[in-house]
Amino acid sequence: MLSIQDLTYSFPESIQPPVFANLNMEIRQGEFVSVIGASGCGKSTLFKTIAGLLDPTHGKIMIHSSPSASTRLGQIAYMPQQDLLLPWRTVLDNCLLPWEIKPRFSKQQTISHIREMLSCFGLADVEKAYPHELSGGMKQRVAFLRTLVAGGGGGLMLLDEPFRALDAMTKREIHRWLLELWDELSQTVMLITHDLEEALLLSDRIYLLAGGVHSELQEIIVDLPRPRHYKMNYEPQFIALREELERRLYAAHTF
């Protein structure tokens, strides 16, 4: 679905070395792929480049074999680190925004789908609230839900640390929901996270990014069986994978 070839990005007018250089990656339709790496290694910059917000300094980004940036825009739902909710719209109206831009189903169908998800995310009571009335974690859940509505057509979802402000219980609920509904959603997802357990629980593959002139993108295949369950965290295969991930992460950032 997504093919990245020889991708390099340097901020214009920056005297720093490139954020990353000569990256190659392939994402298949329906895959869940996490990107991990030390703070500042270039993960968000990589997503902004894929989403078309930054122009690559060098290299190609192709979606369904098309190098056109405009084709890419229609296929990608991007959730940045900041929630970017519209302050003058209620929770429900914020979630409806993708439908207003690109309607797929009737408005009524979309609203009932959103209401189901609001209830599952513990947000049913705040449907009519405005963003300034919500906690940081609630705003993040609304932004995540809106990205799900935007990406509902089987496109690519780019999620930049979507669950970072959530308490452990809410995070677990959203993980459980994602794991249960994953097959039905038929989404392709790329997720940036610093939470190694989250990456292992949700992903088919993980890319470990080390940026700079000598960038490296290591691939880790998560061969845990599906369907997955959060209790897998305690199983030997999961623990072994987690240890391996920590070892590689440490090695990639030890100079």
Asked if residue 55 binds ligand ATP (CB under 6 A), the reply is no
Asked if residue 51 binds ligand ATP (CB under 6 A), the reply is no
Going by their DSSP bridges, the two strands 205-210 and 216-221 should be labelled as antiparallel
Question: Using the rule CB under 6 A, which residue among 15, 39, 55, 236 binds ligand ATP?
Answer: 39
- Toward ligand ATP, which CB reaches closer, 45 or 110? 45
Asked if residue 11 binds ligand ATP (CB under 6 A), the reply is yes
3-state secondary structure 23-44: EEEEECCCCEEEEECCCCCCHH
Q: Of 36-44, 56-64, 83-91, 108-116, which part binds ligand ATP (CB under 6 A)? A: 36-44
Burial of 12 (0-12, 13-18, 19+ CB in 10 A): exposed
Smallest distance from ligand ATP to CB 181, Å: 27
Asked if residue 42 binds ligand ATP (CB under 6 A), the reply is yes
Asked if residue 4 binds ligand ATP (CB under 6 A), the reply is no
Asked whether the beta carbons of 200 and 238 are under 8 A apart, the reply is yes
- Toward ligand ATP, which CB reaches closer, 82 or 135? 82
Question: Using the rule CB under 6 A, which residue among 34, 45, 140, 147 binds ligand ATP?
Answer: 45
Burial of 211 (0-12, 13-18, 19+ CB in 10 A): buried
Smallest distance from ligand ATP to CB 9, Å: 9
Size of the site for ligand ATP (CB under 6 A): 11
Distance CA 210, CA 195 (A): 17
How far are the Cα atoms of 96, 123, 149, 160, 186 from residue 113, in angstroms, in the given order?
Answer: 10, 13, 9, 24, 16
Asked if residue 40 binds ligand ATP (CB under 6 A), the reply is yes
Question: Using the rule CB under 6 A, which residue among 2, 7, 19, 79 binds ligand ATP?
Answer: 19
- And the tokens for 134? 């919500």
Asked if residue 41 binds ligand ATP (CB under 6 A), the reply is yes
- Toward ligand ATP, which CB reaches closer, 11 or 105? 11
Smallest distance from ligand ATP to CB 38, Å: 7
Q: Of 33-41, 67-75, 175-183, 228-236, which part binds ligand ATP (CB under 6 A)? A: 33-41
- And the tokens for 242? 């987690």
Long-range contacts of 231-238 (CB under 8 A, 24+ apart): 232/201, 233/197, 233/201, 238/200
Burial code (b: 16+ CB inside 10 Å, e: under 16) for 133-157 equals ebeebbbbbbbbbbbbbbbbeebbb
Q: Of 34-42, 108-116, 132-140, 168-176, which part binds ligand ATP (CB under 6 A)? A: 34-42
The binding site for ligand ATP (CB under 6 A) comprises 11, 14, 19, 37, 39-45
